[in-house]
Amino acid sequence: MSLTRVQQAEIDAQRRETAATRRVVASGLEERLYEAVPVLDHGFVRAIDYMGDDAAIVQAARVSYGRGTKAARDDRGLIRYLMRHWHSTPFEMCEIKLHVKLPIFVARQWIRHRTANVNEISARYSILDREIYVPAPEHLAAQSVANRQGRGAVLEGAEAERALAILRDDSTRAYGHYEELLNERDGAPIDPERTGLARELARMNLTLNTYTQWYWKTDLHNLLHFLRLRADAHAQYEIRVYADAIAALTQAWVPLAYEAFEDYRLNAAHISGPALEVVRRMLIGEQVTAETSGLSAGEWRELSTVLQTTASGRAE
């Protein structure tokens, strides 16, 4: 991640400011407000503002005057009950606003989560920075043969070097042409004798690994849904690392809710009715195989992964 001295000075100034308040304060997140958490090569995530904490979830569930109950274990138990039984509205009472710097192709994945308020930097008004994402060699993988939207084995040797060279060269060339079309660099004309192309047109030439920025505000319920999908091991690496950074901020913000989320969402598994029947048969001692399960090949493979079954159909 690269921050200019001006940007770092602005962050330091924000972090020095304090104010007395009657609002709920989450001490864990307060310590991390405005801090730029590095992600990928040039990206970051910053918590800008928030509303509510664990007690606000409890307060909303009970519609009480206070900050939940006096016994922390009671609040924890209620939050776990709400999470376990898929209650959503109490978690919607908490909100967070993030400042995110991310490659455009990651942003286009991310924006599919429509239950948020988003304001992205406008390349009609601003000139995007000369910053492009190039994967680290260990994340440069071939197309998966089993999953059309996944990765296979990591590329190595000359093939990897060639792929990285193409990514760097194409992106660098495209950004150079972007500057040439604008006829502007560092706030000054490149050629005083020439008129530049409008920013809203010049931006068309940028590659999808160019970095953009946005403010992203969402409630806790929808944030946890985002994390359940994007912090999963099967999510694309480039969005998963952002989800991991946000997960750490969420844990600092609402530790009881995040603990329940880990137990009942992130590290839990959902199985179908037919798959549940297979589990019941296994529990009474029946040796169930793919052929006798009544499940499709895909369903059997998914259930086996969840249960880590042996070839004989017995759970390990």
pLDDT tens sequence across 118-153: 999 999 999 999 999 999 988 888 776 666 666 778
C-alpha distance from residue 110 to each of 47, 100, 199, 300 (Å): 17, 11, 24, 31
Cα–Cα distance measured from residue 224 to residue 209, given in angstroms and rounded to the nearest whole number = 26
The type of residue at 70 is K
- Would you tell me how many other CB atoms lie within 10 Å of the CB of residue 315? 13
The CA-CA-CA angle for residues 302, 303, 305, to 5°, reads: 65
pLDDT at 20: 84
pLDDT at 286: 95
57: its two tokens: 């979830």
* Catalytic (active-site) positions: 230
pLDDT at 185: 87
Q: Of 185, 177, 176, 183, whose CA–CA distance to 197 is shortest? A: 183
C-alpha distance from residue 8 to each of 3, 5, 18, 35, 228 (Å): 6, 5, 18, 9, 32
C-alpha distance from residue 166 to each of 132, 169, 210 (Å): 13, 5, 15
Q: Of 251, 268, 278, 273, whose CA–CA distance to 306 is shortest? A: 268
The CA-CA-CA angle for residues 87, 227, 302, to 5°, reads: 90
Cα–Cα distance measured from residue 77 to residue 16, given in angstroms and rounded to the nearest whole number = 36
Cα–Cα distance measured from residue 160 to residue 165, given in angstroms and rounded to the nearest whole number = 9
pLDDT at 311: 42
5-127+209-266 placed in CATH 3.30.830.10: no
pLDDT at 145: 66
Q: What is the CA radius of gyration of the chain?
A: 24
- Burial (CB < 10 A; 0-12, 13-18, 19+), residue 259, is middle
Q: Give DSSP secondary structure letters for 187-209.
A: TEES-TTSPPPPHHHHGGG--TT
Q: Give SS3 for 315.
A: strand
Cα–Cα distance measured from residue 94 to residue 56, given in angstroms and rounded to the nearest whole number = 7
Look at the alpha carbons of 259, 265, 269, 271 in this order and tell me if their dihedral is positive or negative: positive
Rounded to 10 deg, the angle between the 297-307 and 273-283 helix axes is 50
For the chain, residues with pLDDT lower than 70 are 1, 65-73, 144-150, 309-316
Cα–Cα distance measured from residue 264 to residue 91, given in angstroms and rounded to the nearest whole number = 14
Residues 182-197: tens digit of each pLDDT: 998 888 889 888 999 9
pLDDT at 312: 44
Domain positions in the chain: 5-127+209-266, 137-205, 273-307
Bridge partners of 95?
Answer: 51, 219
Cα–Cα distance measured from residue 133 to residue 103, given in angstroms and rounded to the nearest whole number = 6
- Evaluate whether 263 touches 80 at the Cβ level (below 8 Å): yes
Cα–Cα distance measured from residue 274 to residue 288, given in angstroms and rounded to the nearest whole number = 13
pLDDT at 264: 95
